[in-house]
């Protein structure tokens, strides 16, 4: 089921509505990262003196520059992890458009879906982003304690959260929030496994910008597949 849904989603990657959501997601994600980096640099400049006097060496004026370059390296490393919650949350806000494109092509006989109000979509996106970031920050303790298994913990945790959220968003368009939660509980194993397969390539820079689109489409297919089994 999962692979069938994924390959159907992959076959539609050239859809103009997919590309639109992709470009919006990339733009907003990069804007947030640049804003984060600018704020981080500002804090460094406020808290770091232009010159420092060290014993024997004397006055050192390059510490501020060194911290600036170090912060850039740090941001490049952190961006791999930041991209996952940010890109995924932004895409979830525009999932309606991806899901509708999937249904227009693969399920043309369906009645119109119930659109989620934009305010509710923004609220759900902010909640989702907060849960993703919070869970990953807390998981840093597990990464430190179980370093050899850190990558698997990362995939398992984010796979669960991504699968849970994307399936709910795709399903509630058709069966409402309560119906989506009931279906999610009934098929949690399939949803979690699909979420893990989505989280794994999210660890790869650049590719992690495309995967949320494919994930949204894949979970739309998964919803219709499990719904058909009822």
- Euclidean distance between CA atoms 218 and 12, whole angstroms: 10
The pLDDT of residue 219 is: 93
Do residues 129 and 162 make contact, with C-beta atoms less than 8 angstroms apart?
no
pLDDT at 57 over 80: no
**Three-class SS state of 153:** helix
- Euclidean distance between CA atoms 197 and 200, whole angstroms: 5
- Euclidean distance between CA atoms 19 and 172, whole angstroms: 23
Range from 15-19, 81-85, 182-186 that averages highest in pLDDT: 182-186
Q: Is 56 left (phi over 0), alpha (psi -120 to 50) or beta?
A: left
Considering only residues 81 and 126, tell me which one the structure prediction assigns the higher pLDDT. 126
Do residues 25 and 213 make contact, with C-beta atoms less than 8 angstroms apart?
yes
pLDDT at 6 over 80: yes
Confidence of residue 220 (pLDDT cuts 50, 70, 90): very high
- Residue-wise pLDDT for 67-111, tens only, equals 555 555 666 665 556 666 666 666 667 778 888 899 999 998 888
Do residues 222 and 194 make contact, with C-beta atoms less than 8 angstroms apart?
yes
Lowest-pLDDT range of 4-13, 38-47, 196-205, 209-218: 38-47
The pLDDT of residue 102 is: 92
The whole model's pTM is what?
0.77
Do residues 28 and 91 make contact, with C-beta atoms less than 8 angstroms apart?
no
Q: Which of 50, 75, 45 is nearest to 61 (CA)?
A: 50
């Amino acid at each position: 089921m999962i692979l069938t849904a994924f390959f159907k989603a992959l076959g539609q990657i050239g859809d103009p509505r997919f590309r639109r959501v992709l470009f919006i997601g990339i733009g907003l994600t990069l804007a947030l990262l640049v804003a984060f980096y600018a704020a981080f640099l500002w804090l460094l400049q406020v808290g770091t003196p232009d010159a420092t006097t060290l014993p024997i060496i004397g006055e050192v004026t390059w510490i501020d520059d060194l911290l600036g370059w170090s912060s850039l390296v740090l941001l490049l490393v952190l961006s791999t992890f930041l991209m996952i919650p940010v890109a995924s949350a932004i895409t979830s806000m525009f999932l309606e458009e991806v899901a509708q494109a999937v249904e227009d092509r693969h399920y043309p006989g369906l009645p119109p879906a119930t659109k989620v109000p934009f305010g509710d979509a923004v609220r759900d996106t902010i909640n989702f982003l907060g849960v993703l970031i919070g869970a990953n920050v807390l998981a840093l303790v597990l990464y430190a304690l179980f370093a050899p298994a850190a990558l698997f913990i990362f995939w398992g945790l984010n796979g669960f959260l991504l699968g849970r959220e994307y399936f709910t968003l795709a399903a509630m368009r058709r069966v409402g929030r309560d119906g989506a939660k009931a279906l999610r509980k009934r098929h949690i194993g399939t949803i979690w496994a699909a979420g893990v397969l989505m989280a794994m390539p999210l660890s790869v820079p650049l590719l992690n910008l495309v995967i949320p689109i494919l994930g949204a489409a894949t979970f739309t297919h998964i919803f219709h597949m499990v719904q058909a089994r009822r």
